Amino acid sequence: SMGVSITQYAFVSPHSENMLFGMGNPLLDISAVVDKDFLDKFGLKPNDQILAEDRHKALFEEIVKRNKVEYHAGGSTQNSVKIAQWMLQKPHKVATFFGCIGKDRFGEILKKKAEEAHVDAHYYEQNEEPTGTCAACITGDNRSLVANLAAANCYKKEKHLDLDSNWELVKKAKVYYIAGFFLTVSPESILKVARHASDKNKIFCMNLSAPFISQFFKEPLMEVMPYVDILFGNETEAATFAKELGFETDDIAEIAKKTQNLPKENTKRQRVVVFTQGKDDTVATVGDRVTMFPVLDIDQNDIVDTNGAGDAFVGGFLSALVQEHALEECIRAGHYAANVIIRRVGCTFPEKPDYH
């Protein structure tokens, strides 16, 4: 089909390596199917994302003993850039990823998995803290995520991002993506990247990531917001964000509009806001209008695990964005990627996409 040849043509150029830059928390996902008693025991909601506290220590010890436990390379931003790379296929290393890991077995697994996914990962490695993990507690088609950041929390701007060789990779990119989760780790690193993108009229994307980000990290979030060209989030995150900002509406289209109109540094680009809503339509600001985009149909029985659906949507979206496709096309690519991911355990994917 015409679409495919255009894609191949666009990527003949060797200059497309490191065109997409991601920075975030590299985590090893430990996923297991649990029951309601397990959730109750640790005070977890069926569908949530939280940071681990002392009371969750035992959770990590228990979850690895479940009979069907799976280990997958994870971390929200890392998942998204991997999926973008998977959608693009060639050349390898279109996506760059920065984050912090430990010098340990889990860290080695993350390095190996990034390499297998053809992502150009440059980890800051330290031995104070072990590689971070994320327990994905699955019940039905819900997932409750508990992240123990550990090493991921040790990322240091001056020890990694500021190094000339690393900053050169940042400068090579045209599209930047950082999940809101990284605001808890290194807001100064995010701001440095965001300001660079804004100054050079490149595209900086961010994700609301989880309700707790808007609730407890509102200050760093709003410091970065003027530099955000594309903001992602789901319906729950959008509602929390609206509440924290006093929007006084729970209408998702109106929230998208008000978010789009927040102050913006680079006025050459109008902010785009994209809110996914699970099986319901994706809501996006297209110019001055808010438009609804239906997701792909899927039989309830085909949904294996919704963990990673949001990351996959962003990954698909970014893969079209680096090819400078229209917003509608970016959303279509996002819907395709999410539809593939929810049929599988963890944020994993088949060898090749079947996308035209």
Residues labelled catalytic: 311
Contact 81, 19 (CB under 8 A): no
Q: Where are the beta strands (DSSP E) in the chain?
A: 20-23, 27-33, 48-51, 70-74, 95-102, 120-126, 132-139, 142-148, 175-179, 203-207, 230-234, 272-277, 280-286, 289-293
What type of residue is 353? Answer: P
- Is residue 3 packed enough to be buried (19+ CB in 10 Å), middle (13-18) or exposed (0-12)? exposed
CB 160 within 8 A of CB 5: no
**Nearest-CA neighbor of 86 among 343, 309, 324, 354?**
354
The amino acid at 214 = S
Q: How far apart are CA 249 and CA 265, in angstroms?
A: 25
DSSP-derived secondary structure letter, 157:
I
Token pair in block for residue 349: 């994917």
Of 136, 147, 135, which Cα lies nearest the Cα of 53? 147
